[in-house]
Structure 1
Amino acid sequence: MTNVLSAHSATTKSSWIDRFWRLGEAGQTAEEAPRIRAIRMSIVGQNTPWMMAANIGNAALAALAFWGSPSSLAVNLICAMLITIAITTVLKWSKSRSRAPREQASERGTRKAVLHAAVLSGLWASLAIVAYADATETQRMVLIALTVGMAGGGGFALATVPPASVVFCGIVGLGAGVALGSNPSVVGFYLFSLYTIFAAIIVRSSLAVCDSLTEKARAKMAADEQRDVIGLLLNDFEQNTADWLWGADEHLRLERASSRFCEKLAAPDSLIVGKPIIDAIPFAMHFMTDIEQIEDRESFRRKLEAHQSFRDVDVCVEQGGELGIWSLTAKAIYDESGRFVGYRGVGRDVTANRQTRLRIEHMARHDPLTDVGNRVLLNEDLARAVSRLERFGDGFSLLLLDLDRFKQVNDNHGHAGGDELLREVAGLLQQLCSEGDTLARLGGDEFVIVHMSGEDPKSAGHLANRIIKRLGQPFHLRSGTAHIGVSIGLACAPVDGTDPDQLIRNADLALYRAKADGRNRFRYFDSSLDATARRRNLIEQELALAVSLGTLELYFQPLIDAQSHQVVCAEALLRWNHTRLGPISPGEFIPIAEETGLITSIGAWVLREACRVSSSWPDNIRVAVNLSSRQFLSPGLVPMVENAMKTNAMRPGRLELEVTESLLMNSTPAVEQTLKTLSKLGIRIALDDFGTGFSSLSYLRRFRFDKLKIDQSFISDMDTNEDGRAIVECVIRLAKDLRMSVAAEGVETQNQLTALRQLGCGEIQGYLVARPMSATAFATFLNAGDDGSERRYA
């Protein structure tokens, strides 16, 4: 048990001693303590000369004050020892000044400092003890002043080493206490109490100084570590990247140039450092083409002289006859007083990056097939043209081009041939355009040109004529020769507007007129086109409303038997009498219905209405309904026809559906199947307008028709044109041979009727028989022939 208590006591004692040696190091890590300790010891070293000078001066003063006193021998001996130790310490300090400061210090240094403090303080304590008892009042005052002064000076001089400070103040205080105790008095008690308080303040201040020093040391170590890391990173940066570092002084002279920068300049740093940076950079005399936002020599000089930080400033350089782009970034450096002291910057060669960016920007603004502009470039250049017009009055024209017969090229030469043709056309258009013009492809076979025509709108017409003439020549493709044309619509600013969208719209209207007038020509926009377009838009809107409200009307034009003159059929014809616009021709609103898709719903209504009205007619009279191509291709056609007949209890043979040859041009299996299905239902199929445009005898072999209708263009000149009469005769004979009935459209004279009857035509339709009439009028027309008398037509 005794051994255990002894061991515990020894351990506790060892712990207290260890904590004493580490006074002022609370919270420090094992790595921080040696480095901070070295800093604290260095501060004590800096104070050493002044501390030793104080010891020498005060020792000499003490010897002088006690000269001739009973204790002068002892005092002189102690003072001599203090002076000797002080001089020796200063000599050692002087020799150690040439050595580099230590980065770390062990506890051994702390112990040496404590030992040195103990020796000096012990001598000052001994001086107080041996001299105080026999001293006069004056000598005692000198002795007390020396004791307190040395305790304070030593304590503060050793403040960064708290163990030494505590030992110095403690031993000096102990000596003072012994001295005062040798001659007890109230004044002595007060003096010792004041000294104790003073010593406590010194010790506490010493610990506070250590804490503050620790924080500063930590901050300095962090800064040093960060500087080292930054240095390593910068070295790694210079070694492993293509960027370079540079620095300039307040006079804009290079004071630092990394090895990479020297390599880029192909010169050693000895020739670069000290040279004005504006002279070190090899600025190009002429810029690279197609590059924007590049600083020249003078603009970069002004940027440097502004003493402001800048980022990613591109300059054009020339080295070895080759142009390049350098990107420079710099931070302006100012001292504590706010004075500009230079730049620290980084640079890189961005020639390849800039060229890549230019390629990307080019792709974003150009058509990938033809490499001419796209809508993005068109919109940008149109906006610039409008801006020039507003600022300087520079007029311009817009040419909208649409290739004629391009679809046939795709059909005959394939899409590869079509693409080759578009590239050829784009190349020719670029050659024909002026330098300031913009050529863009809108898509498909449409191109647009922004032509800077100035004050002469005729200039755009001359350009259009050249384009039409050149594109009218054959194109020799890899797949063969192609023949096309071009239709062009022109809109001129400011006459036809200044808004880009309005100009494009007006050019499109002019292009529509050029196509309507026969293609392969150009037309200028005029106000009548705008009026036509507005009427077209109004009709489109009103037509949709008419379909929903059911304000359309069916008229019927009879077909008679050429021999008996009896009505055998009536063709259902759509009419529209608008409350404001008046009667609107089917030739005007039917194409609009086709383009907008309304024809499907209109056709369904016509079919249902025709079946409803004809259900009250005599059973031997058929009703003929025209089917548009869009309606015929609808998958719901057959069910709709069946439903219309069933609803009106109509015999299938009384319904006659008329189709045009254009439907059969691009025949598909679905078209053939629909025709077969309708025929199986017993519905008659008539081929309308036979002999126009795309007639081919192959249609008659592939598809089964019940009737051929001869177009009125062949009937109108039968009296004067023998070729027309021969064609009509051939068609009638062909129909008979194929067991089909035949009807003639547009019969207007008695001679035409007589000739058709002689040729054996089965049915007659035209103004000679009757004009289209309302359902009520047609019923009256039928009743007028119920008496069985032969109708007469004049």
Structure 2
Amino acid sequence: MSGSTSKIGAFARRALQLDLIDHRVEERDSEWWSRCKLNHTAAFPYLTYDTVRSVGALILCYSFLETWLIVCLAVVCVILGTAQFMIDREVRLGRHSSQKIYRALRDLVVVRACVWGALTAVYISAAPPEFLPALIPAAMLFMLVDGLCMIAIPRRAMVAVSIQCAGIVVPLAVTATGPALLGVGVAISGLVFMHWAVFNLNYMFATRRLRTRTLREANDTIQLLLNQYDEDGSDWLIECDEDGAILRPNARFCKAAKRSAEEMDGMRLSLLFDDSPQREELRAIGVREENFRNLILPLHIEGEQQWWSISARPVYKPDGSLDCWRGFIADVTRTRKAEEKVTYMAHYDVLTNLPNRSLFNTTLKRSFGRRDDGELAAVLYVDLDHFKAINDTYGHAKGDVVLAEAGRRIEQAVDSHAMVARLGGDEFAVLMDRINDRSEAMRAAEAIVTAMDEPIDVDGQLLPIGASVGVAFGPDNGTEGDEVLRAADLALYDAKSRGRRGASVFDPAMQDEVQDRRSMELDLRAALTRGELELHYQPLLDVESGDIAGYEALLRWNHPERGSVSPAVFIPVAEETGQIIAIGAWVIREALRECATWPEHLSVSVNLSPAQMRDEGLLNTIVGALASSRVSSDRLELEITENLLMQDNEDNISLLHKIRGLGVKIALDDFGTGYSSLNYLRSFPFDKIKIDRCFVSDIADRDDSDAIVDAVVSLAGKLNMRTTAEGVENDEQLAKLRLTGCTQVQGFLFSKARPAAELDHGDAPRPAAHDGGKVTHIDPAPRQITTAAKDGRKAG
């Protein structure tokens, strides 16, 4: 009888496939195995799943169930959801053992199945017939989902599925209609399928986890055995008893720890290390008796910070009790320091020790991501004024000192809670998170500008510096951090365009200005190829003879839509975008081409920009233009400004000497408006000094302007340099200039700039007719300065 019973039992086990889910786990691995099943089962979003189907079921049942029953069902659903939330919370916190949480989850699975099985039976029994075609498939779908998401606990999964299947089958069987009996058959077939699927999927899940653990343990053991033979390596083998006390420390281990063998023997391993979360983790692992690898702990040896990496595994006695721990320790101090340095360099600017662009952008994004509605934040974009001139003139080493001091001043100028970062080059940014009002940001911007007004002392040399600041606010100028940063950048551009050393607040109109500027950049890039650029020429008159000595070439842009674009508008754009190099080369070639058609005693004067002076091809451009036009080199005059000499002084002076070696004349333009260092006149023998119109316009009315012009002319004469006065507009100015001995003049009194086709080299320009002090007519004039001009000169 017992034999037949065992055969029946064996047959039942095979039929029910119980062997597939009978996984034997050692007692010491029970906690780990429970955690595996718990983590796999808890990974499914039960709380969201239950909430969705509870709300759907209650809404559906509301149309045909009593209100009190709906309320009861709602209460039960809330209780189930609360229980699931508590289990999910315990899984996250890990305050209790995995076995305890796992048991609670198994119990909840059965309770949930009972509730949903009963609810299914109720709404199938009470629902109107037209609801059944939708309700029955939905109930079976929930049954299948519940089973498949619990493959880690197969027995409870099948209990839950069976209960829910009963909730479908019983009310349908009672109905006993044809369609209902068909539904019964489908539900039972689904139950059989779920049994096969859950047990087979559980087998795959369990065998994979158990085999992976076995392989990992074997690999750890092999690795430890290999290290035992590596006596000359950098790792030290360790062995500790079940309480973590060091056993038989080897000499290399003692030497590394700077302790004697007697002191180390019996000492708890954890006491070697500093009090830290890592040390607490080491102790917790010891309690849990888990394998662990590469646990890095900090320690101090003779006052020096070090880091050691520990890997170990528990060794058990035949009876299953813990015998000892075996593992090895590696000194990873150098690696850890290198990693910390790399991490620091990845997030901080080494020169200023400020956060870099990467860390600033990350912080900015997180700050705006957690900002509440209505909270005000500000971003300040800071750019140092004229830093490139300092860097180029005094060298990168001193430029680095300036950047470091600038970063320090910006940090001191803002609130201690603000984040200051160096974005790159001479650009900085400030994040002011959760400010009370906008005035705080404006005060910070003004403080930054003020702080940068003081020159920076570098090795006893005072270097002038300044700062421009753009300010933008969130959420006013954007809800995302990068939007507000872009707005601050646009405000910074506005501050620079207003003359630098100031702060501007973002205005939406600035975006239109940037788009317009971008459009101008694109149009200017094509202006040369489309033939929209043109040269006009303003005559230079010899004061004594009244003859035309030459012309100054002035660039004009005739845009098909914008009309005539002022050079004051497009020249700065060309300089900033680098297009001035190609345009400047064209100007030189075109001016010489036109000059080739003039009388040979007439010269042409062309302005050079700082960007052109930095162009390595400038000398070749000049040589090529002279050769192709066949114009004598002494008929070409190049004008440079004082500011240009400040940048790369030695390189620029060397280049000017090479150009002058070709026979080309060099003029110093706008003398007296910049730094006006007389050392420039010593460093290079200019052919001419041009007196700026700001002095000429007041020469007849202000004694100081008259005195300045007289001094410049006198100085130029003693240095064998000619002088040209710009912007002469009336007879009184001309008379004063003649008395000073100025060599040449140009201005509206004689002629405005005209296209080459309109130039009349046979006659000198006559003074323009005046109306209320303004030029109302300009006319090609005879070669001699008019009698009216001479009379004015005499009256002067």
Gaps of 5+ in 1: 1-223, 249-253, 273-279, 289-293
Q: Name the amino acid aligned to 1:376.
A: S
Q: Name the amino acid aligned to 2:487.
A: N
Picking from 367, 380, 394, the partner of 1:385 is 367
Cα displacement (A) at 1:330: 6.7
Q: Secondary structure at the match of 2:727?
A: coil
Could you tell me how far apart the structure 1 residues matched to 2:273 and 2:658 are?
79
Could you tell me how far apart the structure 1 residues matched to 2:782 and 2:495 are?
55
**Judging changes above 3 Å, is the alpha-carbon distance between structure 1 residues 245 and 611 closer, same or farther for their aligned structure 2 residues?**
same
Could you tell me how far apart the structure 1 residues matched to 2:461 and 2:784 are?
65
Confirm or deny that 1:743 pairs with 2:724.
yes
Could you tell me how far apart the structure 2 residues matched to 1:555 and 1:267 are?
94
- Describe the superposition over 1:216-274 as per-residue Cα deviations: whole angstroms up to 9, x where unpaired: xxxxxxxx9x99997796698999954645687xxxxx5997556999999999999xx
Picking from 735, 738, 750, the partner of 1:754 is 735
Confirm or deny that 1:528 pairs with 2:497.
no
Cα displacement (A) at 1:689: 1.7
Q: How does 1:104-143 map to 2 (within 5 A)?
A: none
**Judging changes above 3 Å, is the alpha-carbon distance between structure 1 residues 419 and 630 closer, same or farther for their aligned structure 2 residues?**
closer
**2:392–2:648: 8 Å Cα contact kept in structure 1?**
no
Q: Which range moves more in the overlay, 737-746 or 425-434?
A: 425-434
Q: Secondary structure at the match of 1:379?
A: helix
**Judging changes above 3 Å, is the alpha-carbon distance between structure 1 residues 621 and 244 closer, same or farther for their aligned structure 2 residues?**
same
Cα displacement (A) at 1:679: 4.7
Q: How does 1:56-67 map to 2 (within 5 A)?
A: none
Could you tell me how far apart the structure 1 residues matched to 2:246 and 2:651 are?
79
- The residue number in structure 2 matching 1:69 is none
Cα displacement (A) at 1:574: 0.6
- The residue number in structure 1 matching 2:356 is 374
- Describe the superposition over 1:585-623 as per-residue Cα deviations: whole angstroms up to 9, x where unpaired: 212222222233322221221122222223333444332
Q: TM-score, normalised by structure 1?
A: 0.56
**Judging changes above 3 Å, is the alpha-carbon distance between structure 1 residues 480 and 243 closer, same or farther for their aligned structure 2 residues?**
farther
Confirm or deny that 1:586 pairs with 2:543.
no
**Judging changes above 3 Å, is the alpha-carbon distance between structure 1 residues 383 and 793 closer, same or farther for their aligned structure 2 residues?**
farther
- The residue number in structure 2 matching 1:546 is 527
Could you tell me how far apart the structure 2 residues matched to 1:456 and 1:387 are?
20
Cα displacement (A) at 1:472: 4.4
Larger radius of gyration, structure 1 or 2? 1
Q: Name the amino acid aligned to 1:766.
A: G
Picking from 775, 786, 789, the partner of 2:756 is 775
**How many equivalent residue pairs?**
548
Cα displacement (A) at 1:578: 1.5
Query: For the aligned residues, what is the CA RMSD?
Result: 5.1
Q: Secondary structure at the match of 1:452?
A: strand
Could you tell me how far apart the structure 1 residues matched to 2:279 and 2:222 are?
35
Gaps of 5+ in 2: 1-217, 765-778, 790-796
**2:244–2:270: 8 Å Cα contact kept in structure 1?**
no
Could you tell me how far apart the structure 2 residues matched to 1:759 and 1:561 are?
14
- Describe the superposition over 1:7-47 as per-residue Cα deviations: whole angstroms up to 9, x where unpaired: xxxxxxxxxxxxxxxxxxxxxxxxxxxxxxxxxxxxxxxxx
- The residue number in structure 1 matching 2:103 is none
Confirm or deny that 1:688 pairs with 2:675.
no
Confirm or deny that 1:364 pairs with 2:341.
no
**1:330–1:343: 8 Å Cα contact kept in structure 2?**
no
**Judging changes above 3 Å, is the alpha-carbon distance between structure 1 residues 483 and 233 closer, same or farther for their aligned structure 2 residues?**
closer
**Judging changes above 3 Å, is the alpha-carbon distance between structure 1 residues 245 and 387 closer, same or farther for their aligned structure 2 residues?**
farther
Confirm or deny that 1:612 pairs with 2:593.
yes
- Describe the superposition over 1:53-93 as per-residue Cα deviations: whole angstroms up to 9, x where unpaired: xxxxxxxxxxxxxxxxxxxxxxxxxxxxxxxxxxxxxxxxx
- Describe the superposition over 1:443-476 as per-residue Cα deviations: whole angstroms up to 9, x where unpaired: 4444332222446343322333334444545766
- The residue number in structure 1 matching 2:202 is none
- The residue number in structure 2 matching 1:729 is 710
Q: Name the amino acid aligned to 1:377.
A: L
**Judging changes above 3 Å, is the alpha-carbon distance between structure 1 residues 748 and 355 closer, same or farther for their aligned structure 2 residues?**
same
**1:768–1:793: 8 Å Cα contact kept in structure 2?**
no
Could you tell me how far apart the structure 2 residues matched to 1:792 and 1:436 are?
74
**2:382–2:470: 8 Å Cα contact kept in structure 1?**
yes
Picking from 422, 426, 432, the partner of 1:451 is 432
Q: TM-score, normalised by structure 2?
A: 0.56
**1:707–1:741: 8 Å Cα contact kept in structure 2?**
yes
**1:284–1:323: 8 Å Cα contact kept in structure 2?**
no
**2:750–2:781: 8 Å Cα contact kept in structure 1?**
no
Could you tell me how far apart the structure 1 residues matched to 2:298 and 2:755 are?
82
- The residue number in structure 1 matching 2:555 is 574
Cα displacement (A) at 1:747: 1.4
Q: How does 1:284-295 map to 2 (within 5 A)?
A: none
Picking from 440, 445, 470, the partner of 1:489 is 470
Could you tell me how far apart the structure 1 residues matched to 2:781 and 2:472 are?
61
**Judging changes above 3 Å, is the alpha-carbon distance between structure 1 residues 535 and 257 closer, same or farther for their aligned structure 2 residues?**
same
Q: Secondary structure at the match of 2:370?
A: helix
Q: Which range moves more in the overlay, 472-481 or 538-547?
A: 472-481
Could you tell me how far apart the structure 2 residues matched to 1:415 and 1:744 are?
38
Could you tell me how far apart the structure 2 residues matched to 1:630 and 1:412 are?
15
**1:629–1:663: 8 Å Cα contact kept in structure 2?**
yes
**1:413–1:479: 8 Å Cα contact kept in structure 2?**
no
Q: Secondary structure at the match of 2:698?
A: coil
**2:273–2:279: 8 Å Cα contact kept in structure 1?**
no
Q: Secondary structure at the match of 1:496?
A: coil
- The residue number in structure 2 matching 1:438 is 419
- The residue number in structure 2 matching 1:623 is 604
Q: Which range moves more in the overlay, 357-366 or 747-756?
A: 357-366
Could you tell me how far apart the structure 2 residues matched to 1:490 and 1:512 are?
11
Could you tell me how far apart the structure 2 residues matched to 1:575 and 1:728 are?
30
**Judging changes above 3 Å, is the alpha-carbon distance between structure 1 residues 541 and 247 closer, same or farther for their aligned structure 2 residues?**
farther
Cα displacement (A) at 1:742: 2.5
**2:224–2:327: 8 Å Cα contact kept in structure 1?**
no
**2:369–2:480: 8 Å Cα contact kept in structure 1?**
no
Cα displacement (A) at 1:363: 3.6
Could you tell me how far apart the structure 1 residues matched to 2:272 and 2:655 are?
77
**Judging changes above 3 Å, is the alpha-carbon distance between structure 1 residues 315 and 791 closer, same or farther for their aligned structure 2 residues?**
same
**Judging changes above 3 Å, is the alpha-carbon distance between structure 1 residues 793 and 508 closer, same or farther for their aligned structure 2 residues?**
farther
**Judging changes above 3 Å, is the alpha-carbon distance between structure 1 residues 697 and 400 closer, same or farther for their aligned structure 2 residues?**
same
- The residue number in structure 2 matching 1:537 is 518
- Describe the superposition over 1:705-741 as per-residue Cα deviations: whole angstroms up to 9, x where unpaired: 4333211010111132101011112223334444443
Q: Secondary structure at the match of 2:759?
A: helix
**Judging changes above 3 Å, is the alpha-carbon distance between structure 1 residues 737 and 583 closer, same or farther for their aligned structure 2 residues?**
same
Picking from 536, 557, 573, the partner of 1:555 is 536
Cα displacement (A) at 1:402: 3.3
Could you tell me how far apart the structure 2 residues matched to 1:370 and 1:532 are?
33
Could you tell me how far apart the structure 1 residues matched to 2:506 and 2:386 are?
23
**1:295–1:313: 8 Å Cα contact kept in structure 2?**
no
Cα displacement (A) at 1:743: 1.9
Cα displacement (A) at 1:403: 3.9
**1:332–1:340: 8 Å Cα contact kept in structure 2?**
no
